[in-house]
Amino acid sequence: MTQPRREVLQKLTPVLTKRWLSPDAWQIDTYERLDGYAAVRKALDVHPDDLIQLIKDSGLRGRGGAGFPTGLKWGFIPQGDGKPHYLVVNADEGEPGTCKDLPLMTYDPHSLVEGAIIAAYAIRASRAFIYIRGEAVHATRRLRNAVKEAYARGYLGENILGSGFDLDLVVHSGAGAYICGEETALLDSLEGFRGQPRLRPPFPAVAGLYASPTVVNNVGTIASVPYIVLGGADWWKSMGTEKSSGPMIYSLSGRIANPGQYECGLGITLRELIELAGGMKPGHNLKFWTPGGSSTPLLTADHIDTPMDFEGVAAAGSILGTTAMQIFSDQDCPVYATWRWLEFYHHESCGKCTPCREGNYWMVRTYRRILSGQGTVQDLDTLQDTADNIFGRSFCGLGDGAATPVMSTLKFFRQEYLDYIEGRTAPRLSEKALVGAH
Amino acid sequence: MSDVTVDFSPAAAPLAEKLLEPAREILARYPAGRERSALLPLLHLVQTEEGFVSPNGVAFCAEILGINKAQVGAVATFYTMYKRKPTGEYLVSVCTNTLCNVLGGQEIYDGLVEHLGVGHDQTTPDGKITLEHAECLAACDYAPVVTVNYDFAVDNSTPQAAVELVEQLRQGERPMPSRGARICSLKEMQFQLAGFADEREGAVADGPAGAPTLRGVTLAQEHGVAVANFNIDTPIATTKPARDESAKAVKDPGPVSAAKPAEEKHGGLIANVASKVKSAAATVADKVEHRKAGAPVKAGDDKDPETRAAEARNPTGDTPAPDATSAGLPNQTPAPTNAAEAAGAAKNEVAGDGKPAGDTERGESIVQESAAAQKQPATTNDNPGWQNAPRGNEEKK
C-alpha cells in the first residue's frame, strides 16, 4: 500500500462525515456539543425566502443523482397557495454501489433531522417524511431515536424554539422496492400504493404528496443544509468546482486496497481517489468502473483523469449519479457484471412501462445465453436494439439505468462478448440457467 | 365517517384483537383522510404476528383502512419484504448483486444453499432460517455482505463464515452482528419496521462504525486536513423581516387521533372518531365471541363490496374518501403561477422519447372519422356498454 501524496490528501474535505469520528454523535447531547442544532436557531431567525436564496447562492445540487439545484427546487414551491406543503426526504438508498446515506443516518442522524427542519421551514411545510429503505434497519433505529430526542428538546413539534413554526417529522420505512428511490414512485409508495412512477408534469413541486406541493430531496442534500446555514454560501463554494460546489461523499468499492467513504470536493479524479484508497488491490489493474452507481454508463481506465463533478462526468459520456464508484479490474468480466446488474433491473422493474418490463426480461435471457456459451453474433444486435428501445422510453430512469451498462459495455468491450460467443472464453453459466432462453 | 364503527370480519378479527392498538398509533402518523399512507407500516405490523402476510393479514389491513382486499394484495405482492409464506426465526440475506458477486457473494450464497438444503425464499425444516439472495444492500465497501434480519451480520464474508453464522443461529445462539444491533427474531424486527422504537436496552447504541466507513475522515484527521474558514457565525443575508404572513405554513388536517392532546383543538370530529376506534378495540373480543355463536357478520358499512370498489375507482361528489393517486389532481398541467415555476417547467422537459406526439395528418383524419361516426344515428340507448349495464339483481326490480 502506498501512502497518498500530500497534495492529494489536501483534497479531502471532511464536512458531512466529520462527526462520524465521534462514536456518540448519534445522541443529541454529543451532537449539540458539535455545533448541533445551531443551524436551526440561526435559520429560524431569518425569513424562509432568505434561506432559499442562501441555498441558491451556495450552488448546492441534489446528491441523489440528478444534481438538480436545490435552491431552485425549493423556490418552485408556490407560496401563498393555501395548500399544505410537504418535505419528503428520499432515504431509499439502493442503487448498486451506493452506500453513503446509510452511514450518515447511522452515525450522524441528527444532521438529517436538523436539515429537514430547516428545509421544511424554508418551503413552509408543517409536515415532513423521511422515507427510508426498509432493509436499512440500524440506520432507521438511530434515526427514529434522533427524531424522538429532537421532539423532547423542542426542535420538533409545536412552536419550535418559540418561533411559532410547527413541524411533525415521520420516519416511514419502505418495504424492499428499488423503484421507490425514484421520487414519484416514492410518493406513490408513501401514499400507500405500489411504488410506480407518475407521469410528469405535474412535478412534485406542484402536485406531489397528496397532490400538494412537495419537495423531495436526497439525504445528502438535506444533511448539507445545516453546514451551509452555519458556514455560509461562500464557504461552501470554497469546495468543489464552479458549477458543482461543495463536498461530496465518494463511495469507493471493489478492487482497491481500502474501500470506503471518502469525502472530497466535487471535481476530484478517480486517479486521486484510488491514491487516497491506497491504490488498487495487489495484482489488479483498473479495467472498468461506475462513476455513480450501476445506472450510470460505465467508464474505463481511459477515464481515470475525468473530473468527478456533474459537468466533467457528463462530458465523458456518463452521469455523476451518487458518486458510487464500483471499481473492477482485469480479473473481472464486464459481460458477467452487466448480466448481474440486468438480473437486478429485471427484478426491480415495477412493470409499469412495457419497454422496461419486457426489455429487461429478454435482455437477461440473452445474457444468460451468451454467458453459457450458446450466444450468437446476432444476440449483440438484439441487445443493442433492445437497449436502444428501452432507453428514453420509460416513465422513469430505471429503464435508462438498465440500458446504460448494456450500451456502454457493448461500446467498450464488444470483443469480450465475442469471446464468449466464439468459444474463446469458457462459459460462466451452466446449461441449467438457460431454461426459457430460447 | 359519521356512523361507521370499526367492525372486523372473522378473518381479520383475531389479528385485530392483538394489533388494533399499534395500528391506531400507525394511523395517527398521517394526516386525516390520508390514512392509506399507513398501509406499508400496517403490512409490516401484520408480519409481527404471522411472519408473513396471510389472507387474514390482508383482510385486517383492508378493514382498518376501508379499502378492499385486492387493493391491499396488490401492494403486498409488490414489495419484496412482505413475505407470502411463513418465514423462519431469522432471515439470512446474501448480497449477490454485481460487486458482492464478483468478490465472492455468489459462492457464499451457493455454499449456504448446499449447507442448509434450501433455496431462495425457502425456510429450513426446523423453522429457524429463511434464506434469500438479496440485491444491493448498500454496503459495497464491506463486500461481500451477509445480513440477519436486515442487520449487517458478517462483513467481508466468506462461505465458511456464513456457514458458521447459520450454524450458531440454528443452535440457538445469537452472535453479535458486525454493524447492527443485537439479533432479535424476524417478527420482532417487523415491529420496528412498522415504525416503533427498538426498546431493548442498549440496542440503539450497538453497531460501531467500521473502518471503511471512517476511512476518508480518519485519513484527513491523521494528516491534519480540515476545511478552512468554517465560521458558524457567518451572517445570512436578509431582505425581509424574519417572520411575517408569507413565512407561515398552511397546515394539513393533522392525524385523526386522540393520542396527542394538542390535537384536541381540532374539535369534535377527531375526538368522536378516536373514541369510536377506542370503543371498537374494546368490543372486538365481544364480536369474536358473537361470531363463534354463528351470528351474521356485517362488513364496515352496508354497501356491497362491488359498489364500494366502484365508488372508490370513480368517485363522485358524494364519495367522501378519494382513493386513487390521481384523485384531486387537475386534469391538465396547472399553468405556472410565477416566474420561478415557469422557468422550472420550461427547464424540465416532459419525460418521453423526444419524438413528436404523432403524425398530425393522420391524427386529424382520425378525429374527422370519429366526428363522422358521431353523426350516425345513436345506438347507445340499445347498447349502454358494460359499465352502465344494470346488474342482475337490479333488473328484477
Task: Point out the least confidently predicted range of A278-292, B1-15, B165-179.
Answer: B1-15
- Residue in B closest to A132 by C-alpha: B193
Q: Which residue has the cell 457567518?
A: B234
Q: How confident is the model at residue B245 (pLDDT cuts 50, 70, 90)?
A: confident
Could B207 and A138 be called an inter-chain contact, meaning their C-beta atoms sit closer than 8 Å?
A: yes
Residue A261 C-alpha from the chain's centroid: 14
Q: How confident is the model at residue B273 (pLDDT cuts 50, 70, 90)?
A: very low
Secondary structure letter of residue A319 according to DSSP? -
| pLDDT on residue B4 | 43
* B90-95 vs B129-134, strand pairing mode: parallel
Residue A52 C-alpha from the chain's centroid: 23
Provide the shortest C-alpha distance from residue A138 to chain B (in Å).
6
Provide the shortest C-alpha distance from residue A376 to chain B (in Å).
24
Could A324 and B140 be called an inter-chain contact, meaning their C-beta atoms sit closer than 8 Å?
A: yes
B119 neighbors B113 (Cβ within 8 angstroms): yes
Interface test with A, best of B43, B84, B217 (most A CBs within 10 A): B217
A111 neighbors A249 (Cβ within 8 angstroms): no
| Axis crossing angle, helix A219-231 with helix A48-58, rounded to the nearest 10 | 100
- Chain B CB contacts of A54 under 8 Å are 236-237
Q: How confident is the model at residue B384 (pLDDT cuts 50, 70, 90)?
A: very low
- Residue in A closest to B262 by C-alpha: A158
CATH no. of A35-237: 3.40.50.11540
CB interface of B with A, residues 333-352, below 8 Å: 333-334, 337-338, 340-341, 343-345, 348, 350-352
Question: Does B278 have pLDDT greater than 60?
Answer: no
Question: Does B184 have pLDDT greater than 90?
Answer: yes
Cell of A297: 454508463
Distance CA B128, CA A209 (A): 40
Interface test with A, best of B39, B40, B81, B313 (most A CBs within 10 A): B40
Provide the shortest C-alpha distance from residue B155 to chain A (in Å).
12
Mean pLDDT of chain B: 78
Could A194 and B75 be called an inter-chain contact, meaning their C-beta atoms sit closer than 8 Å?
A: yes
Could B103 and A254 be called an inter-chain contact, meaning their C-beta atoms sit closer than 8 Å?
A: yes
Provide the shortest C-alpha distance from residue B14 to chain A (in Å).
23
- Chain A CB contacts of B252 under 8 Å are 84, 126-127, 210, 212
Question: Does B292 have pLDDT greater than 80?
Answer: no
Question: Does B303 have pLDDT greater than 80?
Answer: no
Q: Which of B302, B299, B332, B323 is nearest to B13 (CA)?
A: B299
Per-residue pLDDT averaged across B61-81, rounded? 97
Question: Does B78 have pLDDT greater than 90?
Answer: yes
Could A206 and B334 be called an inter-chain contact, meaning their C-beta atoms sit closer than 8 Å?
A: yes
- On whether any CB of chain A is under 8 Å from the CB of B31, the answer is yes
| Axis crossing angle, helix A354-371 with helix A377-390, rounded to the nearest 10 | 160
- Chain B CB contacts of A148 under 8 Å are 197
Query: Any residues with CB less than 8 A from the CB of B378 and at least 6 apart, and which?
Result: none
For B138, the closest of A85, A93, A235 (CB atoms) is A93
| pLDDT on residue B363 | 38
CATH no. of B90-184: 3.40.30.10
- Here the ipTM equals 0.95
- Residue in A closest to B324 by C-alpha: A193
Distance CA A171, CA B195 (A): 7
| pLDDT on residue B272 | 41
A95 neighbors A324 (Cβ within 8 angstroms): yes
Provide the shortest C-alpha distance from residue A26 to chain B (in Å).
9
Could B214 and A20 be called an inter-chain contact, meaning their C-beta atoms sit closer than 8 Å?
A: yes
| pLDDT on residue B7 | 81
Span A334-434 CATH architecture: Up-down Bundle (1.20)
- On whether any CB of chain A is under 8 Å from the CB of B211, the answer is yes
* Neighbour tally for A161: CB within 10 Å: 15
| pLDDT on residue B348 | 61
Could B249 and A84 be called an inter-chain contact, meaning their C-beta atoms sit closer than 8 Å?
A: yes
- Residue in A closest to B230 by C-alpha: A231
The pTM of the full predicted model, rounded to 2 decimals, is: 0.84
- Residue in A closest to B222 by C-alpha: A9
| Helix ranges, chain B (H) | 13-27, 39-50, 55-65, 69-76, 98-100, 106-116, 159-170, 186-193, 211-222, 268-292, 305-313, 339-347, 360-375, 392-395
- Chain A CB contacts of B338 under 8 Å are 78
Per-residue pLDDT of chain A (438 residues; tens, 9 = 90+): 578 999 999 999 999 999 999 999 999 999 999 999 999 999 999 999 999 999 999 999 999 999 999 999 999 999 999 999 999 999 999 999 999 999 999 999 999 999 999 999 999 999 999 999 999 999 999 999 999 999 999 999 999 999 999 999 999 999 999 999 999 999 999 999 999 999 999 999 999 999 999 999 999 999 999 999 999 999 999 999 999 999 999 999 999 999 999 999 999 999 999 999 999 999 999 999 999 999 999 999 999 999 999 999 999 999 999 999 999 999 999 999 999 999 999 999 999 999 999 999 999 999 999 999 999 999 999 999 999 999 999 999 999 999 999 999 999 999 999 999 999 999 999 866 555 444
Could B81 and A176 be called an inter-chain contact, meaning their C-beta atoms sit closer than 8 Å?
A: yes
A109: Cα within 13 Å, side-chain hemisphere = 28
- On whether any CB of chain A is under 8 Å from the CB of B70, the answer is no
| pLDDT on residue B317 | 43
Cell of B136: 444491493
Could B80 and A177 be called an inter-chain contact, meaning their C-beta atoms sit closer than 8 Å?
A: yes
| pLDDT on residue A84 | 97
pLDDT in tens, B190-210: 999 999 999 999 999 999 999
Question: Does B266 have pLDDT greater than 60?
Answer: no
Per-residue pLDDT averaged across B22-30, rounded? 97
The structural domains of chain B, with segments of one domain joined by +, span: 1-85+185-207+252-318, 90-184
Q: Could you write out the three-class secondary structure of B113-159?
A: HHHHCCCCCEECCCCCEEEEEECCCCCHHHCCCEEECCEEEECCCCH
Interface test with B, best of A1, A70, A73, A135 (most B CBs within 10 A): A135
Distance CA A247, CA A343 (A): 33
| Axis crossing angle, helix A414-421 with helix A397-412, rounded to the nearest 10 | 80
Q: Is the sign of the CA dihedral A48, A54, A56, A60 positive or negative?
A: negative
Could B243 and A164 be called an inter-chain contact, meaning their C-beta atoms sit closer than 8 Å?
A: yes
For B247, the closest of A48, A81, A340 (CB atoms) is A48
Cell of B46: 401484520
Could B37 and A79 be called an inter-chain contact, meaning their C-beta atoms sit closer than 8 Å?
A: no
How many interface pairs between A and B have CB atoms less than 8 angstroms apart? 382
- Chain B CB contacts of A260 under 8 Å are 141, 211-216
A160: Cα within 13 Å, side-chain hemisphere = 24
Could A96 and B229 be called an inter-chain contact, meaning their C-beta atoms sit closer than 8 Å?
A: no
- Chain B CB contacts of A102 under 8 Å are 138-139
| pLDDT on residue B329 | 45
The structural domains of chain A, with segments of one domain joined by +, span: 35-237, 334-434
* Neighbour tally for A311: CB within 10 Å: 16
- Chain A CB contacts of B57 under 8 Å are none
pLDDT in tens, B317-369: 444 443 334 444 444 455 666 777 677 666 665 544 433 333 334 434 444 44
